[in-house]
Structure 1
Amino acid sequence: MNIALVTGSAGLIGSESVAFFAEKFDLVIGIDNNLRSYFFGAEASTDWNRKGLEEKFSNYRHYKADIRSEEEIGKIFAEYGADIKLVVHTAAQPSHDWAAREPFTDFTVNANGTLVMLESTRKYCPEAVFIFTSTNKVYGDTPNYLPLVELETRWEIDQNHAYFEHGIDELMSIDHSKHSIFGASKVAADVMVQEYGRYFGMKTAVFRGGCLTGPNHSGAQLHGFLAYLMKCAITGNHYTIFGYKGKQVRDNIHSWDLVNMFWHFYQNPRPGEVYNAGGGRFSNCSMQEGITVCEEITGNKMNFSYADDNRSGDHIWYISDLSKFKAHYPDWTWKYDLKTTLTQMYDNISKRV
């Protein structure tokens, strides 16, 4: 039997992975204890998504286990053993604002939880491909020291800089910068995933995401930029822009496009690899530009205000360079651009609010 195991399976990337791999594996095991509702409140609960997966996919089996528990996770891995061919680890505490409230919780979920997953994979199914969703926050605030130029609706990098054409590549240093507590815990996990590939020879890959997005995102104020923006555009709820004149730039990759990257890697894996994963020059926007697109799609004028204080360590401009991944897997490319993604969000969120 071929089994795919997905952590954070009711979240954005986890649920997309379940749907994607349910058609390609005999069984998909999901692990998710809905900690997202603890992090961000009832409005961010992923229970609705879990129920949908269980109803739609007969070969999906859900476990409400805590990735920090060696005992709970070990039992699941022991039950299925070497039949597990793929592990997609997306479970995390994802907000750099929230992490500062409870650093121990943040670190144990992001770093210790990842170690538990790696060790369980090494012990019970060492030949499995292990995929980890990291973050561009591992680069800290280093991108903010690039030569940036202020334009009418966004910040942009100087057109003569090497990063102008494609964005930031994987060679940017992760040292000597302010990461946020969240970024630091993800660095620990990121490096450990690399090490299990390089030291133990396991087929591990780190995907350093920009803004991961899609119609199944349970967006909240502290996490889920586009999803929460669209939610506010639909409901009329107030939205606050924090700093940088609302011109800070994010690249946005649709959850399907990211999981399709996982699939390409699974078919031809490499040990200890690191890839930037985002919308690149194909799909990005500033806060101001995102608001404009949301207003166009909904037909509503957004209720927002501006706060001068930017979030500590927040990126002013970040666009991912995916050239390395595309060189390794030339058949992959993006499918969903920014407007298509936001339109899907509008259709989905409108049914839930």
Structure 2
Amino acid sequence: MKKMLVTGSGGLIGSEVVSFFADRGWQVHGVDNNMRQDFFGVGGDTTWNIERLKNTFLNYEHSSIDIRNRLGVFSLINRVQPDAIIHTAAQPSHDLAASRPFDDFDVNAVGTLNLLEALRQYSTTIPFVHMSTNKVYGDAPNHLGLVEKETRWDYVDAEYYNGIPESFTIDQSKHSIFGASKVAADVMVQEYGRYFDMPTCCLRGGCLTGPNHSGVELHGFLSYLIKCNLQEKEYTIFGYKGKQVRDNIHSYDVVRFIEEFLKHPRNGEVYNLGGGRSNSVSILEAFDLISEISGKPMKYKYSDQNRSGDHICYISDLNKMKSHYPNWEITKDLKTTFQEIYNSWVLRTSF
């Protein structure tokens, strides 16, 4: 039986990875110390998800090790002896990083290095998949020519119609403290792939979403927006007239790509991972779609102050992913994704 180590196993992508590969017969060992509750309070608590995994899968084991604990990480990898590591654990918030920069860097950058070096000392042939972020590009995408349309911003230049490619600059831009720590981790994952000839990849996610997301205002845009609509709470739009655009990818499609990478791993690769243009949506458009599903109007207020380093329009160019892994494609469209998230919040808030 193949063995997999999944960090951040109580989170959105981590729990989807656990479910997907446990269903396919892998022995899965999850690592999650519920740091999300420390970061975001009760609303970010992932205990419910961790318990769900424990109760659902007999082939799932759990550890509450903090990935900042270097000796603990080394010991765990030597004990589990994984055939693959999927690293989804992170401090994910721009705003929180500014107030807790040491925690942010130690989790995102140092924690990633701890895992990489522990794996290298165990084996240089084991695939390592890192959930990076499109925030490694900083605010450089905002310097592209943009046109304001009725409900969204869009690219002027036809070269970017399909979105931002992996060759786009990550230099000379404002990243936020969070973005900078993720750049450090991203580059280190690439370097272990190239320097030590290890099968590694960075998945620079756009808006990763799905029904198992514990969305809060500081992280988890779509999940939190849908939760606000369901509970008839006021949502705050931060700048750009609510026309800022994100491409959303369902966590299932993220994990499907991970499966394809594990079948044919490559060294030190980078992929922009999002829903592409077909799954892109602005905040205003998201309001309309969830109101259509729930039958409830969206309550919101507007703040002129945009979040520092935030993207005005970001769409992931998926051409490189599809050329390297032609068996992969988006299977969950935007409306399906919204409906699943809505159904999940209904279930969770009914108890």
Give TM-score, length-normalised by structure 2.
Answer: 0.98
SS in 2 for 1:321: coil
Contact 2:29 2:80 in 1 (8 A): no
SS in 2 for 1:22: helix
Deviation string for 1:276-329 (max 9, x for gaps)? Answer: 000011201001001111111111111111000000010000000010010000
1:1-353 matches, cutoff 5 A: 1-81=1-81, 84-158=82-156, 160-164=157-161, 166-353=162-349
- The separation in 1 between residues aligned to 2:180 and 2:47, in whole angstroms, is 29
Counterpart amino acid of 1:324? K
Contact 2:4 2:83 in 1 (8 A): yes
Contact 2:129 2:258 in 1 (8 A): yes
- The separation in 2 between residues aligned to 1:303 and 1:44, in whole angstroms, is 22
- The separation in 1 between residues aligned to 2:167 and 2:302, in whole angstroms, is 34
Deviation at 1:213, TM superposition (A): 0.2
Deviation at 1:80, TM superposition (A): 2.4
- The separation in 2 between residues aligned to 1:251 and 1:298, in whole angstroms, is 22
Contact 1:85 1:125 in 2 (8 A): no
Counterpart amino acid of 1:194? Q
- The separation in 2 between residues aligned to 1:313 and 1:290, in whole angstroms, is 21
- The separation in 2 between residues aligned to 1:125 and 1:58, in whole angstroms, is 27
Q: Report % sequence identity.
A: 56
SS in 2 for 1:127: coil
Deviation string for 1:14-60 (max 9, x for gaps)? Answer: 00000011123431000000000011111110000000000101000
Contact 1:39 1:98 in 2 (8 A): yes
Contact 1:4 1:25 in 2 (8 A): no
- The separation in 2 between residues aligned to 1:152 and 1:16, in whole angstroms, is 35
Deviation string for 1:43-81 (max 9, x for gaps)? Answer: 110000000000101000000010011111112111123
**Stretches of 4+ moved more than 2 A in 1?**
23-26
Deviation string for 1:219-272 (max 9, x for gaps)? Answer: 000000100000000001111000000000001000000111111000000000
- The separation in 2 between residues aligned to 1:46 and 1:199, in whole angstroms, is 36
Contact 1:250 1:285 in 2 (8 A): yes
Deviation at 1:126, TM superposition (A): 2.5
Contact 1:3 1:25 in 2 (8 A): no
Deviation at 1:125, TM superposition (A): 3.2
Stretches of structure 1 lacking an aligned partner (at least 5 in a row) = none
- The separation in 1 between residues aligned to 2:337 and 2:258, in whole angstroms, is 19
- The separation in 2 between residues aligned to 1:124 and 1:24, in whole angstroms, is 25
Give TM-score, length-normalised by structure 1.
Answer: 0.98
The alignment covers a number of residue pairs equal to 349
- The separation in 2 between residues aligned to 1:8 and 1:184, in whole angstroms, is 20
- The separation in 2 between residues aligned to 1:270 and 1:223, in whole angstroms, is 30
- The separation in 1 between residues aligned to 2:40 and 2:283, in whole angstroms, is 21
Stretches of structure 2 lacking an aligned partner (at least 5 in a row) = none
SS in 2 for 1:228: helix
Counterpart amino acid of 2:143? Y
- The separation in 1 between residues aligned to 2:122 and 2:95, in whole angstroms, is 36
